[in-house]
C-alpha cells in the first residue's frame, strides 16, 4: 500500500515583524537565568484579525504560569511570508527555537532539527494520528510534528442541484459528469470548478490522482506521476469535463482555489472539492450546501488527500529540554481542540480527534474527521517535494486543455521529479 503522506491554509494578516529583535533569540535571559524561547507561528485568521496572536498569548501565559523558568516570545507572520522569513533567519544563523510553518524536510535533511523522540514525552509522541506521523518523517525519523490538519470533501450546492434535477450527490466520476451536464443546462456558471491554477494546483491534482486509483508516488514511495492510472485520470478530466465546457468560463489552468471558493460562496458553483474553511465562507453568504466523499472513478471510496501544517524545534540554541516541555504543553488536548475549533480545522492527536467526534458542536466536521485517519498526504518528507510541487503548479493545467496529451505532460513532470529526487 502506498505510504501515507499528507500537506495549508492561506491567511492574510501581518503582525509583529520577524527580524527585529531576534538576533538574541534563544539566549539566556538576565532575570534569574530563565530560558527565553522564540516561536515563529503562522497566522490563520482569514478575516485580518488577531485571533491567532490571542491564541498564542493565552497559551503562553498558561504555560509560563506552570513553568516560570521558561519564557516564550511569539511572533505571528502571515502564510504568504512565514516560510521565506524563517528560511532567511536560519540562513543568517538566527534560527528561532520553534517554528510553526508549512514544511520541515529541508531543515531535517540539513541536520538542523531535533527529532520527535528528542523533544516529546512518550505519551505525547504516541498520540499523533498514524498518517501524520508517516508524513512527518524524513528517512524514517520523525522531525515534523503535525500542528493542525484537514481533509478534502466534495462540496455541492443543494439549491442548484434541486433546480437542475440532480437527486443525489455523485459517488462515481460518471455520476459527477452527468450532474455537471444538468447544472450546465440550467445555466450554472461553474458546473464543476476545477482549480488547477498556480495557487494550489498540487492539491487539486492529488485529489484526482487518488480518486483515480493513482497518486504522486508508488507503493515504495518513489515518484510515479506518469502511471497509467494518472494518465487515465487526466484524460477523463479533459474529455468529460473540460472539453464539454463543464468547468466554467475560466480555464482550469488559470483558476485558483481562492477564486473557486469565492465563486462557490457566491452561489455560482455546482460542485467543487473543498476543505473545512469553505463552510464558513459559504454559510456567511447563505449558500446551502452538502458535502460527501470525493467520488472515485469506480464508485469505491478511495483515500482522500489530507493536509497538515508543521511545528518543529531547531537545534541552534541548544534548548532541547525547554522546547520539549513547551511542545508537550502545546499538544495537550485542550489546547489542540481550542485551536482546531477556532479555525474549523482538525486535531492531530488520537484523543483530541475522539473528543471532537463526540462533541455535538463539532458535528459539521465529522465527515472530515472520518476521512482523516485513512487520508494520504503529499510526499512532504521528500526534500524534492517543494520543487516537484512547484512544477505541478506551473504545468498540470495544460494536461486538461482540449486536444492535450496528458501522458506527455505527466511524463515531463515525472522526469523532473525523478531528477529532483536523485539530487536529494
pLDDT tens, 368-421?
999 998 899 999 999 999 899 999 999 999 999 999 999 999 999 999 999 998
Q: Where are the domains of the chain?
A: 35-151+307-374, 153-303+384-422
- pLDDT tens string 96-125: 999 999 999 999 999 999 999 999 999 999
Res 312 pLDDT > 50: yes
Domain formed by 153-303+384-422, architecture? 3-Layer(aba) Sandwich (3.40)
In 3-state terms, what secondary structure has residue 311? strand
3-state secondary structure of 70: strand
Q: Check whether 129 has a pLDDT greater than 80.
A: yes
CATH match for 35-151+307-374 among 1.20.1600.10, 3.20.20.70, 3.40.190.10, 3.40.50.1220: 3.40.190.10
pLDDT of residue 313: 98
In this prediction, residue 207 carries a pLDDT of 96
The cell numbers describing 326, all together, are: 513547551
Q: What is the pLDDT of residue 74?
A: 97
φ and ψ of 162, to 5 deg: -65, -45
Average pLDDT, the chain: 91
Rounded mean pLDDT, 181-200: 96
Cell matching residue 384? 524534492
Of 5 and 206, which is predicted with more confidence?
206
Residue with cell 515525472: 414
For residue 33, what pLDDT is reported? 54
| Residue 167: burial class (beta carbons within 10 Å; 0-12, 13-18, 19+) | exposed
Q: CB–CB of 245/181 below 8 Å?
A: no
Neighbouring CB atoms inside 10 A of 340's CB total 24
Nearest to 238 by CA among 410, 414, 16: 410
| Mean pLDDT, residues 316-322 taken together | 97
Residue 365 has pLDDT above 90, yes or no: yes
- pLDDT(31) > 50: no
The secondary structure of residue 363, as a DSSP letter, is: G
Q: What would the mean pLDDT of 10-34 be, rounded to a whole number?
A: 39
Q: Residue 130: which H helix or E strand, with range?
A: helix 130-135
Compute the radius of gyration of the chain from its Cα atoms. 22
CA distance 330 to 97: 14
Q: Phi, psi at residue 105, to the nearest 5°?
A: -60, -40
Phi, psi of 413 (to 5 degrees): -65, -40
Q: What is the pLDDT of residues 156-169, one digit of tens each?
A: 999 999 999 999 99
Examine the pLDDT at 1 and tell me if it is beyond 60. Answer: no
Per the structure block, which three cell numbers stand in for 43? 497566522
Residue 2 has pLDDT above 50, yes or no: no
Beta strands in 80-160 (DSSP E): 98-101, 137-138, 141-142, 145-151, 153-157
Determine the average pLDDT of the residues in 198-205: 92
For residues 226 and 411, is the Cβ–Cβ distance under 8 A? Answer: yes
- For 349, phi then psi, to 5°, come to -110, 155
- pLDDT at residue number 15: 34
pLDDT score for 226 = 97
Residue 114 CB contacts under 8 Å (≥ 6 apart), including other chains: 143, 312, 313, 314, 315, 320, 323, 324
The mean per-residue pLDDT over the stretch 135-149 comes to 96
Confidence of residue 18 (pLDDT cuts 50, 70, 90): very low
pLDDT at 286 over 60: yes
For cell 518543529, the residue is: 312
* pLDDT (mean) for 170-182: 97
Rounded mean pLDDT, 279-301: 93
Task: Name the β-bridge partners of 153.
Answer: 274
Which residue in this structure is represented by grid cell 506527455?
408
Amino acid at each position: 500500500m502506498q505510504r501515507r503522506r499528507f500537506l495549508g491554509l492561506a491567511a492574510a494578516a501581518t503582525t509583529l515583524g520577524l527580524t527585529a529583535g531576534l538576533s538574541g533569540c534563544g539566549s539566556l535571559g538576565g532575570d534569574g537565568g530563565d530560558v527565553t524561547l522564540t516561536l515563529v507561528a503562522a497566522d490563520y485568521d482569514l478575516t485580518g484579525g488577531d485571533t491567532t496572536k490571542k491564541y498564542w498569548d493565552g497559551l503562553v501565559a498558561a504555560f509560563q504560569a506552570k513553568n516560570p523558568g521558561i519564557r516564550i516570545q511569539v511572533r505571528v507572520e502571515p502564510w504568504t511570508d512565514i516560510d521565506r522569513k524563517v528560511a532567511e533567519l536560519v540562513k543568517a544563523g538566527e534560527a528561532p527555537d520553534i517554528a510553526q510553518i508549512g514544511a520541515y524536510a529541508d531543515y531535517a535533511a540539513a541536520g538542523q532539527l531535533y527529532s520527535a523522540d528528542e523533544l516529546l514525552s512518550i505519551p505525547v509522541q504516541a498520540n499523533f494520528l498514524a498518517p501524520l506521523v508517516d508524513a512527518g518523517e524524513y528517512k524514517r525519523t520523525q522531525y515534523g510534528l503535525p500542528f493542525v490538519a484537514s481533509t478534502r470533501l466534495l462540496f455541492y450546492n443543494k439549491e442548484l442541484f434541486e433546480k437542475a434535477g440532480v437527486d443525489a450527490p455523485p459517488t462515481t466520476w460518471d455520476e459527477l459528469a452527468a450532474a455537471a451536464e444538468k447544472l450546465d443546462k440550467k445555466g450554472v456558471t461553474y458546473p464543476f470548478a476545477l482549480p488547477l491554477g498556480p495557487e494550489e494546483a498540487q492539491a487539486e491534482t492529488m485529489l484526482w490522482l487518488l480518486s483515480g486509483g493513482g497518486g504522486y508516488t508508488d507503493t515504495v514511495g518513489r515518484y510515479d506521476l506518469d502511471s497509467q492510472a494518472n494518465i487515465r485520470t487526466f484524460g477523463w478530466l479533459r474529455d468529460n469535463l473540460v472539453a464539454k465546457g463543464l468547468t466554467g468560463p475560466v480555464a482550469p489552468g488559470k483558476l485558483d482555489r481562492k477564486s473557486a471558493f469565492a465563486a462557490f460562496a457566491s452561489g455560482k458553483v455546482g460542485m467543487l472539492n473543498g476543505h473545512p474553511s469553505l463552510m464558513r465562507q459559504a454559510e456567511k453568504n447563505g449558500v446551502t450546501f452538502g458535502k460527501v466523499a470525493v467520488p472515485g472513478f469506480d464508485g469505491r471510496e478511495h483515500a482522500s488527500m489530507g493536509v497538515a501544517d508543521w511545528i518543529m524545534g531547531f537545534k541552534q540554541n541548544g534548548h532541547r529540554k525547554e522546547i520539549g516541555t513547551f511542545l508537550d504543553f502545546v499538544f495537550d488536548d485542550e489546547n489542540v481542540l481550542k485551536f482546531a475549533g477556532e479555525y474549523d480545522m482538525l486535531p492531530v492527536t488520537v484523543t483530541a480527534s475522539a473528543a471532537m467526534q463526540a462533541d455535538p458542536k463539532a458535528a459539521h466536521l465529522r465527515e472530515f474527521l472520518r476521512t482523516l485517519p485513512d487520508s494520504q498526504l503529499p510526499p512532504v518528507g521528500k526534500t524534492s517535494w517543494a520543487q516537484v510541487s512547484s512544477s505541478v503548479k506551473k504545468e498540470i493545467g495544460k494536461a486538461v486543455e482540449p486536444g492535450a496529451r496528458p501522458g506527455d505532460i505527466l511524463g515531463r513532470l515525472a522526469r523532473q521529479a525523478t531528477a529532483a529526487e536523485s539530487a536529494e
